Amino acid sequence: MSSAMFDLILQATLDTLYMVAVSGVIATLLGLPLGVMLYVTRPRQILAMPVLNQVLGIITNIGRSIPFIILMVAIIPFTRMLVGTSIGINAASVPLTIAAIPFVARLIEGALNEISPGLIESAQSMGATPWQIITKVLIPEARGGIITGLTITLVTLVSYSAMAGAVGGGGLGDLGIRYGYNRFNPTIMLITVVILVVLVQGFQSLGDYLVRKSDRK
Amino acid sequence: MIELSNVSKTYGSGDSAVHALQNVNLTIPKGTIHGVIGLSGAGKSTLIRCVNLLERPTSGSVLVDGQEMTGLRRRELNHARHRIGMIFQHFNLLTTRTVFDNVALPLELMGEKRSTIKNRVLPLLEMVGLADKAKQYPAQLSGGQKQRVAIARALASKPNVLLCDEATSALDPQTTSSILELLRDINHQLGITILLITHEMEVVKSICHRVSLISDGKLVEDAEVGDFFTAPATQLGRDFLNDFLQLSPPKELLERLEESPSEHTHPVVRLTFSGDAVSTPLISRLARECSVDVSILQAKVESIQDRTLGLMIAELLGSHEQTQQAMSYLAAHQLQVEVLGHVQRNV
């Protein structure tokens, strides 16, 4: 392999990591509160607001049901407005983030759902405010489930980011399509796939390790 | 001091309404231990949750230390809850916090400083006998130890009232008695008022001063523990007592028992002695003075706090007049006589 080829692959790997990191972090920052809201506004929950809960649920479901490849194209005007362009890794990070927010939210909601209702009740009996229950009981107790959810999100983002290559998004998917598919270079195709597999394995192992470390049960 | 007046709680409305509590009146003086006993589904759990408003009563008034709980705003309610500790059947400790941090939680919620928290938590752990477990996680503790941590946590905010929701129901008998002993000590040393709900007579017997019996959302009895164990006023109370004492006629006898007397039958009676009657040799006097023979089928003596309770199932042998006279004799000596039935003479 030429050194030019090596540089291309290295750059594409870094681009993929960049897209996954940016969208992963922003989606967590926005998806975590959304997930918590989906949980605490349920009927009979600590901030029961059934109407808001329904509305948030519907918005989340819409976000979850649009196929990523369609979402990516559909929000191009929004992407342009936000980052000034519709191609490249910054542009690809926008639909990745949008797709990941409802995904993260549902996984967080699921993790919170695993907490014994008795813990919430006992915090209430101590005079905890809803905010204190969220920060001192719900999120710490759901830590393992939340890390598992974020690991799943990162792995999903790796494969979504490869799809972003289809619209000139950059990264490993882009490389695989342009060099591997369009120029029919099976070596490049194989290398990109192997790197993607290694990335996914790496994220999963890291996630598993963190879950094990946080587990006190 | 806890005072419930006309407290009712209804879930749902119309035909599907469930009346979990109906006009409950209950006064628990400061520093006493009050038990509420009842079968599952009787409303115990709703009752105890109405005290700290984990369940909001549909109507009625809840006074804790003279403060009306139902009228409080959210903030005031949270504040009032700092004065009411609560422990639960399943302990409800945070799994991701150490023993120390679990006990510290109520203090953190109140916004106490780290140094204050440390000065408060360590003596509490000392008191419940778990000072050496401060850095461990709940998963490393036994059930009894978890409940001790929960007790320390409930006491952290220096409450005047402690609510115990089936606190020993998930524990084995030996652990149960050590937890009850701890609760009694706390009541003694700190003068805390304790309201506990349970389905176990053993719990009521060993630590309560007064007891209420709840059935279908209504309090049907409210008595000193000694009175409740010697003379329950309701059938449900008697059922609980008999079940607890495990004193019922042998099966073989039950099968032969007839409801009404005939010419060739003897009465089978359950005798309950309390007070002076326990120490009086009544059975031998009965034999002498009424010329009946007494065949004892089962007998038991229990001490309930400062009272002694004797129970006996016996067959009275003699003519109809003699046995009637014997029963009046016993009743006149402060014994409760309950005729269980009549059996054919064994020939």
CA–CA separation, A188 and A179 (whole Å): 7
Nearest to A121 among B82, B92, B97 (CB): B92
By three-state DSSP, how is residue B86 classified? strand
B193-215 pLDDT, tens per residue?
999 999 999 999 999 999 999 99
Q: Does B259 lie in the same domain as B170? A: no
Q: Does B178 lie in the same domain as B123? A: yes
The tokens 């929000």 sit on which residue? A75
Query: Are A119 and B92 an interchain contact pair (Cβ–Cβ within 8 Å)?
Result: yes
Q: What is the DSSP letter of B108?
A: H
Query: Are A126 and B82 an interchain contact pair (Cβ–Cβ within 8 Å)?
Result: yes
Burial degree of B87 (CB within 10 A; 0-12, 13-18, 19+) = buried
Chain A CB contacts of B137 under 8 Å are 216
Of B236, B269, B294, which closes a domain?
A: B236
Asked whether the predicted pLDDT for residue B299 surpasses 90, the reply is no
The ipTM, to two decimals, is 0.87
For A13, list phi and psi in degrees, rounded to 5. -65, -45
A71-121 pLDDT, tens per residue?
988 999 999 999 998 888 999 999 999 999 999 999 999 999 999 999 999
Q: Does B178 lie in the same domain as B284? A: no
CA–CA separation, B293 and B7 (whole Å): 52
Query: Are A126 and B106 an interchain contact pair (Cβ–Cβ within 8 Å)?
Result: yes
Can you give the pLDDT at residue A3? 84
Q: Does B75 lie in the same domain as B159? A: yes
In chain A, what are the domains? 3-214 (1.10.3720.10)
In a domain, B225, yes or no: yes
CA distance to partner chain A, nearest, from residue B265 (Å): 57
CA–CA separation, B290 and A151 (whole Å): 87
How many structural domains does chain B have? 2
Average pLDDT value for residue range B225-247 = 87
Q: What percent of chain B has pLDDT over 70?
A: 99
In a domain, B52, yes or no: yes
Torsion of CA A64, A70, A72, A73, to 10 degrees: -150
What CATH number does residue B252 fall under?
Answer: 3.30.70.260
Q: Does B268 lie in the same domain as B221? A: no
Can you give the pLDDT at residue B347? 47
The tokens 């194209």 sit on which residue? A73
Angle, to 10 degrees, between the axis of helix A89-113 and the axis of helix A50-65?
130
In terms of residue numbers, what domain contains B317? 247-344
Q: Does B255 lie in the same domain as B134? A: no
Q: Does B168 lie in the same domain as B100? A: yes
C-alpha closest to that of B212 among B16, B26, B343: B26
Q: What is the DSSP string of B274-336?
A: EGGGGGS-HHHHHHHHH--EEEEEEEEEEEETTEEEEEEEEEEES-HHHHHHHHHHHHHTT-E
- Read off the pLDDT band of B278 (50, 70, 90): confident
The tokens 């059922």 sit on which residue? B239
Say which range, A4-8, A139-143, B185-189, has the weakest mean pLDDT.
A4-8
In a domain, B241, yes or no: no
Can you give the pLDDT at residue B7? 96
Asked whether the predicted pLDDT for residue B73 surpasses 90, the reply is yes
Of B211, B236, B261, which closes a domain?
A: B236
Of B236, B262, B285, which closes a domain?
A: B236
In a domain, B294, yes or no: yes
A126 at the B interface (CB within 8 A)?
yes
Query: Are B110 and A127 an interchain contact pair (Cβ–Cβ within 8 Å)?
Result: yes
Best probe of the A interface among B46, B75, B84, B94, by most A CBs < 10 A, is B94
Q: Does B275 lie in the same domain as B146? A: no
Q: Comparing B116 with A69, which gets the higher pLDDT?
A: B116
By three-state DSSP, how is residue B199 classified? coil
In a domain, B8, yes or no: yes
A45-63 pLDDT, tens per residue?
999 999 999 999 999 999 9
- Read off the pLDDT band of B346 (50, 70, 90): low
Can you give the pLDDT at residue B106? 97
Average pLDDT value for residue range A180-190 = 86
Angle, to 10 degrees, between the axis of helix A186-214 and the axis of helix A3-40?
40
Asked whether the predicted pLDDT for residue B326 surpasses 60, the reply is yes
CA–CA separation, B93 and B139 (whole Å): 10
Q: Does B169 lie in the same domain as B38? A: yes
Nearest to A124 among B54, B94, B108 (CB): B54
- Other beta carbons less than 10 A from residue B307's beta carbon: 16
Can you give the pLDDT at residue B53? 96
Asked whether the predicted pLDDT for residue A1 surpasses 70, the reply is no
C-alpha closest to that of A113 among A45, A58, A166: A45
CA distance to partner chain B, nearest, from residue A142 (Å): 9
Best probe of the B interface among A45, A126, A146, A216, by most B CBs < 10 A, is A126
Q: Does B53 lie in the same domain as B166? A: yes
Query: Are B78 and A143 an interchain contact pair (Cβ–Cβ within 8 Å)?
Result: no
A125 at the B interface (CB within 8 A)?
yes
Structural contact between residues A189 and A212, judged by C-beta atoms closer than 8 angstroms: no
Q: Does B138 lie in the same domain as B67? A: yes
Query: Are B82 and A127 an interchain contact pair (Cβ–Cβ within 8 Å)?
Result: yes
In a domain, B242, yes or no: no
Burial degree of A159 (CB within 10 A; 0-12, 13-18, 19+) = middle
Q: Does B13 lie in the same domain as B136? A: yes
Q: Comparing B143 with B244, which gets the higher pLDDT?
A: B143
Average pLDDT value for residue range B265-269 = 88
Query: Are B81 and A124 an interchain contact pair (Cβ–Cβ within 8 Å)?
Result: yes
Alpha helices by DSSP H, A41-142? 50-65, 68-74, 76-83, 89-113, 117-125, 130-132, 139-141
A214 at the B interface (CB within 8 A)?
yes
CA distance to partner chain A, nearest, from residue B138 (Å): 8
Asked whether the predicted pLDDT for residue B317 surpasses 80, the reply is yes
User: Which of B209-245 are b and which e, b meaning 16 or more Cβ less than 10 Å from the residue's Cβ?
Assistant: bbbbbbbebbbbbbbebbbbbbebeeebbeebbeebb
In a domain, B41, yes or no: yes
